[in-house]
Amino acid sequence: MNSSYTEQNNKTAEAVARLKAEIDAADAVVIGAGAGLSTSAGFLYTGERFEKYFPDFIRKYRFEDMYSGGFQVMQLPPGELWAYWSRYIYINRYMDPPKSVYRELFELVKEKDYFVLTTNVDHCFQKAGFDKHRLFYTQGDYGLWQCSRPCHQKTYDNEETVRSMVLAQGFAIAEDGALTVPEGAALQMTVPPELVPRCPVCGEPMRMNLRADDTFVEDDGWHAAAQRYSDFLRRHSGLKVLFLEAGVGWNTPGIIKYPFWRMTRDEKDAVYACLNYSEAYAPDEIAARSICIDGDIGEILAQLK
Ligand SMILES: [Zn+2]
């Protein structure tokens, strides 16, 4: 073991101990979570998971990963598009992530007054036990559809239709909810026309309730969650608040990262913690009240126990 490795380990251990003390001391914890948290939980969009559920799409269209495939299928006929998206939605929204990272995060804060702000759309916080009234999903939810125009500001739960779609393609759903390919089954790359979702109001195609542009529908649930989040911040202003950022990258820093920095700067008793694999950083202005821990979030949480 060389000395810089030991030094890094000591630094991490010290930062983890500091974070633990700050969680204990905090009046409230505001969690801000990005894609890195779900990656750490094993929700990978490449490799084994991709190859297991999309072998036909990989063969026929040479898709390279689940995420970019989601854009490429937009060119395909509706039956194929929904064959792709139903598998995608099912495994990323209705199945549990391979690792218990979200559950460990919940164990860490469940006795605290907490709130979660997240750009993740995979429902992992609720599946791990977080109270849905303490969650604000700013960017949508894989479990919801909306009118593609949109002609009205409502979203629709898609679980039942998505289940029918994957079953129609030859998949099976195990007792624990896992999507499986029965032995010898030939997968269909399309869903029957009657399962292709259309807007119940105007008849146009439905689409995912994911923020991509200004056609994203912010329904009543979205506005209620936004209101609860701002109320939470107002109620705890001036108190000892820990802003705990986990796996937030640089795609949309204006949603979590920058506001967390700004609130830490403006609230003299606030503390900012940044857990990130290779991008743990805090600006100089708040460095004295920041804890940056570089590493896999699952491993960091294990050390916090
Ligand atoms: Zn419509």
Res 6: pLDDT: 77
Q: How far is the CA of 150 from the centre of ligand 1 (A)?
A: 5
Neighbouring residues of the ion ligand 1, judged by CB less than 5 Å: 147, 151, 199, 201-202, 204
Residue 1 has pLDDT above 70, yes or no: no
For residues 200 and 208, give the distance between their C-alpha atoms in angstroms, rounded to a whole number.
15
> Mean pLDDT throughout 35-51?
95
* Token pair recorded at residue 191: 């869903």
* Token pair recorded at residue 210: 């994911």
- Decide which of 3.30.499.10, 1.25.40.420, 3.40.50.1220, 3.40.190.10 is the CATH code for 1-42+98-138+218-305: 3.40.50.1220
Q: How far is the CA of 205 from the centre of ligand 1 (A)?
A: 8
Structural contact between residues 130 and 106, judged by C-beta atoms closer than 8 angstroms: yes
Q: How far is the CA of 230 from the centre of ligand 1 (A)?
A: 30
Q: How far is the CA of 145 from the centre of ligand 1 (A)?
A: 11
Q: How far is the CA of 146 from the centre of ligand 1 (A)?
A: 8
Residue 19 has pLDDT above 60, yes or no: yes
Q: How far is the CA of 252 from the centre of ligand 1 (A)?
A: 28
- pLDDT tens digits, residue range 263-290? 999 999 999 999 999 999 999 999 999 9
Residue 143 has pLDDT above 90, yes or no: yes
Q: How far is the CA of 207 from the centre of ligand 1 (A)?
A: 10
Q: Is 47 exposed, middle or buried (0-12, 13-18, 19+ CB in 10 A)?
A: exposed
Region of poorest pLDDT, from 5-19, 42-56, 100-114, 239-253: 5-19
Q: How far is the CA of 148 from the centre of ligand 1 (A)?
A: 7
Res 3: pLDDT: 66
For residues 123 and 144, give the distance between their C-alpha atoms in angstroms, rounded to a whole number.
11
* Token pair recorded at residue 151: 């002609």
Residue 93 has pLDDT above 80, yes or no: yes
Q: How far is the CA of 216 from the centre of ligand 1 (A)?
A: 13
Res 11: pLDDT: 87
Considering the entire predicted model, what is its pTM?
Answer: 0.94
Q: How far is the CA of 142 from the centre of ligand 1 (A)?
A: 19
Res 185: pLDDT: 86
Res 86: pLDDT: 98
Q: How far is the CA of 153 from the centre of ligand 1 (A)?
A: 9
- What's CA 201's distance to the chain center, in Å? 30
Helix/strand/coil percent split, the chain, to 5: 45, 15, 35
Give residue 194's identity as a one-letter amino acid code. Answer: E
